[in-house]
Structure 1
Amino acid sequence: MKRLKFNPVLYISTIFHNNIKKFSKRKSEVNNNEDELSLFWHIQELRKHCIYSIIWLAFFSSISFVFMNPIINFLEKPYNNSIKLYKNNLLTQNLSSISIFEVITVNFKICFLIGLSISLPFILRELWKFIVPALYENEKKIAQVFIVASVILFYTGIAFGFYLVIPYFFSNALTWSSQYAHVMITYENYFNSLIILIFIFGIVFEIPVILSLLGMAGLISSDLLKKNRKITFILCFIIGAILSPPEVLSLCLIALPMYFMTEISIYFIKKIEEKRMLIEISKS
């Protein structure tokens, strides 16, 4: 039987290799544990901020419920002002209800949506607290600008829709409908239409924020929007024609703000592109 010779170099290298394998295995286990802890921490933080957001929503919805009667009277003003123009028998003067629970369910829906609208800045603040640890300083400034701008534009859109567009919308819609039939507007139909129109304008006024984010992501450019101005203009009027009664003033009150928001977006995207170009030049 042949006797194996002892090789010290091979022995040391084997021990070193085995220790490296053990260390790598131990390090991967530690990293996995750290990843699990990090994921658990993020889930806990997200859960906490979601709970706070729900609390804010519940609080402002409850406040809206307490002041339900003044809120309903305020929201009925566009309808009440519109029916004053008509003194014929083709229009029901008061809102009607065809279900026992219609008024109750609509009132709760209104309180919830008002609570959601009022609590929006607080919900966004909770979102900000969750994402801010992962942002760099320059990203924090950009995110703050977008959050503040989105809140201001949303409320501006709601105010624009309620005070300028909706009175003309209901007046012209009633003018058109009452020529052909006895108009009986139900409680649910009126408030559903009112809520949809209000939130449409809230979203329309968010167009600069949405397009600016797409511009920052490189998905669109200011040149692309400039080249397609005519198509954008036509699309705005098509959407306005779908949402408005067949009357020119209502159509313009919906389509023109949409197009104006697009033009504002072009300006902001152009500024973003110029700043990005300056950063690239400074790096080079």
Structure 2
Amino acid sequence: MSSSSKQYTLFDHLLELRSRLLHAVLAVLVVFCSMIYFANDIYEYVSQPLLATMPEGGQMIATDVASSFFAPFKLTIVLALFISMPYILYQVWSFIAPGLYKNEKKLIAPLMFGSSFLFYGGIAFSYYVVFPIVFAFFTSVAPEGVNIATDISSYLDFVLKLFFAFGIAFEIPIVIILMCWTGFTDPYSLRKKRPYIVVGAFVIGMLLTPPDVISQTLLAVPMLLLFELGVFISSIYYKEDDEQSTEEVNHE
């Protein structure tokens, strides 16, 4: 922890934590209230990848009495959380920043920005790339005579699961950088474990996605590419640290 002229008690830290949590919750509520009027339009936009691949006569249905209200409502809450994520991360950063050294602050701030960018990138990748391919496959293999009519609540649960799966999976470079930064591992060890990483990526893809090969592969392949990106960035940091250590030794 960095030195400070003012000593904080545990109660002071708890008050600060409560304040940061209240700010984060308030941000989510503000975003949610500003979008709730457009809940149905938001759901219609999210359902476009499925509707675009449905055969003529296919439609979405509501099997529960209240699902036509609760499905868009739930989606709006989750979307408000997604949109507020940078501000939530800022509150987390503001809480932990006073206890970090100067060199740690220089690394944590870019990591928080990068984690937000990658999380949104994972969601965008699942919506614009994965959904059209997966839904086109599902609708094309439907047996003859089967009328496709997807329940709106089931569809929402499906897409939210994929949103979270791809959003979290795209955080792999951040995780690798943190692991190398804390000394838990190093880029050279990770490169040696590449065959195990390949197997692990497909296992994770199997666990986080629906039971079909297409979505599993579409998650596993980006995870492997992001793994390589994380190792590459970590190796740059390692190279800079080695050069700095060599310069310090020469000066001595």
* Aligned twin of 1:161: 126
- 2:29 corresponds to 1:58: yes
Question: Match for 1:120 among 74, 85, 98?
Answer: 85
**1:105 is aligned to 2:70:** yes
* Mapped partners of 1:53, 1:222: distance in 2: 35
How far did residue 69 of structure 1 move?
A: 2.1
Q: Per-residue deviation at 1:251?
A: 4.7
User: What is the alpha-carbon distance in structure 2 between the residues aligned to residue 194 and residue 246 of structure 1?
Assistant: 14
1:205, 1:261 within 8 Å by CA — same for their partners in 2?
A: yes
Q: TM-score, length-normalised on structure 1? A: 0.78
Q: Which runs of 5+ in 2 are unaligned?
A: 1-5
User: How do residues 12-51 of structure 1 correspond to structure 2 at under 5 angstroms?
Assistant: 38-51=9-22
The residue type paired with residue 45 of structure 2 is: F
Q: Of 156, 159, 168, which aligns to 1:191?
A: 156
Counterparts in 2 of 1:41 and 1:265: CA distance versus 1, 3 Å: same
Q: CA deviation at 1:152?
A: 0.8
Kindly state the Cα deviation for residue 46 of structure 1 after the two structures are TM-superposed: 1.0
One of 57, 60, 70 as aligned partner of 1:95: 60
Comparing 238-247 and 59-68, the one that deviates more: 238-247
Match of 2:136 among 158, 164, 171: 171
Instruction: Report SS of the residue matched to 1:82.
Output: coil
Q: Report percent identity of matched pairs.
A: 27
Residue 52 (structure 2) aligned to one of 66, 81, 84: 81
Aligned-pair Cα RMSD in Å: 2.2
CA contact (8 A) 2:173 2:227 kept: yes
Deviation at 1:247, TM superposition (A): 5.2
Give aligned pairs, total: 243
Change (3 A) 1:169 1:41: same
- Give the CA deviation at 1:244: 5.5
